[in-house]
Structure 1
């Protein structure tokens, strides 16, 4: 029996099962070299195209019936020379390699629902997040419901960023932090716990206690709970 001879309802169900979440990567925008007024730039008249390195979903290349059942819509249609592709904003996750790359997502900020943030291309990401507050752009992503932050090895400062900075209207419980090496996934409070425990309550990376002449200073530092989680608060997180 061929696939085409299967009942229509069964074929439709199979097409729906073929849909998988994809990573929308390397989103970039190309602007025209012409002269534009401020109003024209605000309207996006100076944009040639937006594009992504992610290829179109395979389901759009199978046959007419697969395309009819594929839950995708045209995206990256902005500009005078658009290079559009197909995106499922509910399933696909937009991935950026630096905090400033979030700005490259221009015409679909109100539609993006899932966002992954890396800091591979941003050595000063902590200053960008805290001093320059570049995460404030996330308020323009009004339908954002999930954020994944990929942690570089040993990088725990995102715990402070989670506590002190805003991530737009994304629900705080849907913000997770992924350790790239192990695949461990932490919530914001869990990451803050790990960060504070390592900095305040634990020995150094080699298991050594503080030096004797600094012990009283370290104790006073640990007892000052105005800037870190207390042991009781850590217990609640666990």
Structure 2
């Protein structure tokens, strides 16, 4: 009968492959704090935790740094001796920026984002005619865009034709939150 080898005794190549298999797409929330809304400093916030395997041990952290990077520190500016960041895989993770009203703060990192998600209310003409155009101009390298339609889905009829979507219309997903 074969014996089960504890994980640390497996060959390094197998352990490294197992760590790599833990990388999967996930939603990463990056939204604007109330401080920005009050006209104070730009403070993006994220409720997304660090991927658990990154915190498992030194070996996992070393291996998974090949897939994850510290991102969004550019948005925070310099606040003392430390800078905030979010661990993300910009090739796989879906970056959710909330309602997108303050999309200009994402300008330093926007070209790196491949998969974008935002909430929109098309019946709100300022959003539709102003914000969505700025969003699409900033996120030029998005391969997939997910739009959480805050009003009825049918209100978004024709939205694909009204704008140039950097990922192509076939890679835009309109999502009814209900």
TM-score with structure 1 setting the length: 0.60
- 1:60-71 maps to which residues of 2 (within 5 A)? 60-70=54-64, 71=67
Structure 2 gaps of 5+ residues are none
Number of paired residues? Answer: 164
Does the aligned pair in 2 maintain the 1:47–1:80 contact within 8 Å?
no
- 1:159-198 maps to which residues of 2 (within 5 A)? 159-167=157-165, 169-181=166-178
> Could you say which residue in structure 1 is the equivalent of 2:47?
53
For residues 101 and 20 of structure 1, do their structure 2 counterparts lie closer, same or farther at Cα, with a shift above 3 Å needed? Answer: farther
Deviation digits for residues 32-84 of structure 1, max 9, x if unmatched?
xxxxxxxxxxxxxx967544221111121111111122110111222112211
Structure 1 gaps of 5+ residues are 32-45, 182-238
SS of the residue aligned with 1:118? strand
> Could you say which residue in structure 1 is the equivalent of 2:114?
113
Among 10, 16, 32, the residue aligned to 1:12: 16
Shift of 1:170: 1.9
Higher relative contact order by CA 8 Å / sep ≥ 6: 1 or 2?
2
Find the aligned partners of 2:141 and 2:148 in 1 and give their Cα distance.
21
For residues 117 and 58 of structure 1, do their structure 2 counterparts lie closer, same or farther at Cα, with a shift above 3 Å needed? Answer: same
TM-score with structure 2 setting the length: 0.77
Shift of 1:97: 2.7
RMSD value, Cα:
2.7
